[in-house]
Amino acid sequence: MSRRSNYDRAVKIRAAVLEQFGEPLVVQELELAGPRAGEVLVRLTACGVCHTDMYTASGADPSGYAPTVLGHEGAGIVEAIGEGVRSLVPGDHVVTLFSPQCRECIHCLSPRTNLCLAIREQQNKGYLPDGTTRLSRDGEPIRHFMGTSTFSEYTVMPEIALAKVDSEASLEAACLFACGLSTGLGAAMFTAQVQSGSTCVVFGAGLVGLGAVAGCRLQEAERIISVDLSDERLALARRQGATDCWRADGQVVERVLDQTGGLGADYTFEATGLVAVMREAVESARMGWGLCTIAGVAGKGETLEVVPRLLITGRRICGSSFGGVKGRDQVPELVQRYLGGEIDVAPLISHRMGLEDVNRAFELMHAQDGIRSVLALGS
Amino acid sequence: MSRRSNYDRAVKIRAAVLEQFGEPLVVQELELAGPRAGEVLVRLTACGVCHTDMYTASGADPSGYAPTVLGHEGAGIVEAIGEGVRSLVPGDHVVTLFSPQCRECIHCLSPRTNLCLAIREQQNKGYLPDGTTRLSRDGEPIRHFMGTSTFSEYTVMPEIALAKVDSEASLEAACLFACGLSTGLGAAMFTAQVQSGSTCVVFGAGLVGLGAVAGCRLQEAERIISVDLSDERLALARRQGATDCWRADGQVVERVLDQTGGLGADYTFEATGLVAVMREAVESARMGWGLCTIAGVAGKGETLEVVPRLLITGRRICGSSFGGVKGRDQVPELVQRYLGGEIDVAPLISHRMGLEDVNRAFELMHAQDGIRSVLALGS
């Protein structure tokens, strides 16, 4: 236990705190207690800034709370481990998992889902699995966010929520596998399980959509149509493997049908979070067996309208959370494919900045400037 | 070809004609021309009366037309075959297939769908595959309905739309496999492919819903919850294998969640055609992997509203046309399971009557009296 002893007491960290919904985050000093049993202290080095962070910061998520330390697309190095931690040792490179993998619950034991049930309830409330927080300020507990809170120099997370990745991989690249990129890749590879030779349509060319394009390519789809409003993003989609890049113009469904003998695409993916686009994705899917995979997160209270006849004639609809990726098993595999040159991460990082600039990352996202801002954390 | 020669000229038949939408059918004499190449003349002996017949008769189906001979849930005996027919000979017992199986189109060659493309377009317009009709009255062509037109003593149908069944099977029982019963059985067996040990909820206990209950039983589901407004139908559901029978009371979703640890049912089936019930079926499906199969046909212009979050958290939605049954291959297999005592058809036939009473069958259906009226046809 000696390697834990330095961390038995709280350490000072700098972190970006959501103090008030709708207000800029405030970067400040907090205390972080050492890892308890089953927990791990991670020195974070990189963190992507994702729409879910901004969505929560805006106050639009009714399950959101403040104050909290946002951030969930993190990567770093294990600094210390708590009692009973067996799968990680200090020095290991890790990607944070807002979607953990306990390997023991009924969902982890099933090949049908990646939605681990082990710590869901406490995580949703902002607590670590034992129902407490490691974060505090002047002795007052501060809740964690998505079980990760990675807009910070350090975090304490459950062992089951960390994926150990090859230390050859750049952590700046690896962090994208903590959310957006894996969500897109996995939607095609694990949720839809695109068959070789298929025709696919991906709506939206943000990080999730670009990941889905890459996933379709890795699955050896024959035709991959990327649809977006931005020519710049469409150019990135082509680089990820899109064979066709279409400006979204309200005529996409008709165009897909026209070009597929009236039948539709084998697989469609929705990566915008807009219910009107979800409907287009459903209606572009092929009669007989077309599968529409929803990866975007819709606004609260919005519903997707489906014409039942489309279902009866063979279209199917599913959703994908974190791309169906079982994080501890499959994030390392995806990172390995990145290292093998099969996934081109560099063009997806459009901005780099320090933790102090996290609000600028939100501004860039709001302006739809670039794909991903990555924060360089720590020294 | 001598065995065809008697049928080269038209024969007189009695059939129930939809003359005007919203008016009773008129049983009358028509002419039926002999089978051309690839066609078969069938002497019909039994035909179930299905909601789709009534729906078309009402005029609510915008693709409907009149005059036409309704009926699509037929069974009978091959009387004569046209040139090139290889899979049937006079005397064979057959079930009519509104959903044919050519065994050659891209859909027939795929295990993913039963929606044969071979003759779809002509069939939808009321014609046999060569674009003409065999039915006429005073020399004027009368269009076929669903490629079947089985409210009649005889019909001419394409060889690819007839399933040859064991002549040991009662044709009165066999006719239910032409539509409603196969649709329900197949929704569970072929579309959803219910896994052994599952919890299933079937909304609606008409013929399709009862078939789905039986299909879940054949797939060795552990718990089968049947939901309906009628205690009589729920009693029939129990006989088909339902372990739980619930009166539909608007609280079904909550009850399913309560009894499944908050997760939902592994498989849900919708067999009412009401979009509000479809929504209940979606919302009763299990987080992680729950599959909702829509088998009911919604009214024109109605849409199913889906909360996208339910998809993201692992629920899936699909539809089932004719239960995903590839008719020529699988209807005979289902009939064999009936003969083997695995499917209890007798209680599903609630009324028997002659062709002249077809309008009474509609009245009984409208009054929700019984599950199926079967017309005894011919002598």
Average pLDDT of the segment spanning B133-151: 97
Which residue shows structure tokens 């409208």? Answer: B366
Closest CA to A135 of A154, A108, A122: A154
Contacts of B51 in chain A (CB under 8 A): none
Q: CA B114, CA B116: separation in Å to the nearest integer?
A: 6
Q: Give the active site residue among B107, B120, B223, B238.
A: B120
- Residue B277: exposed, middle, or buried by beta-carbon count in 10 A (0-12, 13-18, 19+)? buried
Q: Give the active site residue among B179, B200, B216, B245.
A: B179
pLDDT attached to residue A8 = 66
Average pLDDT of the segment spanning A235-242: 98
A52 is catalytic: yes
pLDDT > 90? residue B274: yes
Residues of chain B with pLDDT > 90, as a percent, come to 95
Q: What's the pLDDT tens digit per position in A277-304? A: 999 999 999 999 999 999 999 988 999 9
Q: Which three-class secondary structure state does DSSP give residue B78?
A: strand
Residues 6+ apart with CB under 8 A from A276: none
pLDDT > 60? residue A331: yes
Q: Which two tokens stand for residue A119?
A: 């710590």
Average pLDDT of the segment spanning A167-173: 98
A292 is catalytic: no
Q: Which residues on adjacent β-strands are paired with residue B31?
A: B12, B136
pLDDT attached to residue A379 = 58
What are B's interface residues with A at a Cβ cutoff of 8 A? Answer: 107, 110, 112-113, 115, 275, 278, 287-289, 294-298, 302-321
B72 is catalytic: yes
Of the listed ranges A159-163, A234-238, A243-247, B57-61, the one predicted with least confidence: B57-61
Contacts of B309 in chain A (CB under 8 A): 297-298
B73 is catalytic: yes
pLDDT > 50? residue B2: no
Q: What's the pLDDT tens digit per position in B192-247? A: 999 999 999 999 999 999 999 999 999 999 999 999 999 999 999 999 999 999 99
- A289–B308 C-beta distance less than 8 A: no
Q: What's the pLDDT tens digit per position in B306-333? A: 999 999 999 999 999 999 999 999 999 9
Q: What's the pLDDT tens digit per position in B17-27? A: 999 999 999 99
Average pLDDT of every residue of chain B: 96
Q: Are strands A291-294 and A267-270 parallel, antiparallel or unpaired?
A: parallel
Residues of chain A with pLDDT > 90, as a percent, come to 95
Q: What's the pLDDT tens digit per position in A12-22? A: 999 999 999 99
pLDDT attached to residue A70 = 98
Q: What's the pLDDT tens digit per position in A121-149? A: 999 999 999 999 999 999 999 999 999 99
CA distances from B340 to B166, B207, B219, B334, B344 (A): 12, 20, 16, 10, 10
Contacts of A295 in chain B (CB under 8 A): 312
pTM of the model: 0.95
Residues of chain B with pLDDT > 70, as a percent, come to 98
The alpha carbon of A213 is separated from its chain's Cα centroid by a whole number of angstroms, namely 15
Res. B81 pLDDT band, cuts 50 70 90: very high
Q: Which residues on adjacent β-strands are paired with residue A94?
A: A76, A164
Average pLDDT of the segment spanning B43-65: 94
The alpha carbon of B252 is separated from its chain's Cα centroid by a whole number of angstroms, namely 27
pLDDT attached to residue A7 = 62
Pick among B113, B287, B302, B306 to test the A interface (most A CBs inside 10 A):
B306
B372 is catalytic: yes
Of the listed ranges A58-62, B6-10, B67-71, B144-148, the one predicted with least confidence: B6-10
Average pLDDT of the segment spanning A84-107: 98
Q: Which three-class secondary structure state does DSSP give residue A162?
A: strand
B200 is catalytic: no
Q: What is the ipTM of this complex?
A: 0.95
Q: What's the pLDDT tens digit per position in B90-138? A: 999 999 999 999 999 999 999 999 999 999 999 999 999 999 999 999 9
Q: Give the active site residue among B4, B105, B333, B337.
A: B105
What H or E segment, with its residue span, contains residue B93?
A: strand B93-96
pLDDT > 50? residue A3: no
Res. B5 pLDDT band, cuts 50 70 90: very low
Nearest CB partner across the interface for A115, out of B304, B310, B313: B313
Q: How far is A354 from chain B (nearest CA, A)?
A: 32
- A289–B309 C-beta distance less than 8 A: no
pLDDT attached to residue A5 = 46
Q: Which two tokens stand for residue B164?
A: 């040859």
Q: Give the active site residue among B134, B286, B315, B372.
A: B372
Q: Would you put residue A80 in left (φ > 0), alpha (ψ -120 to 50) or beta?
A: beta
Q: CA A152, CA A355: separation in Å to the nearest integer?
A: 7
Q: What's the pLDDT tens digit per position in A176-217? A: 999 999 999 999 999 999 999 999 999 999 999 999 999 999
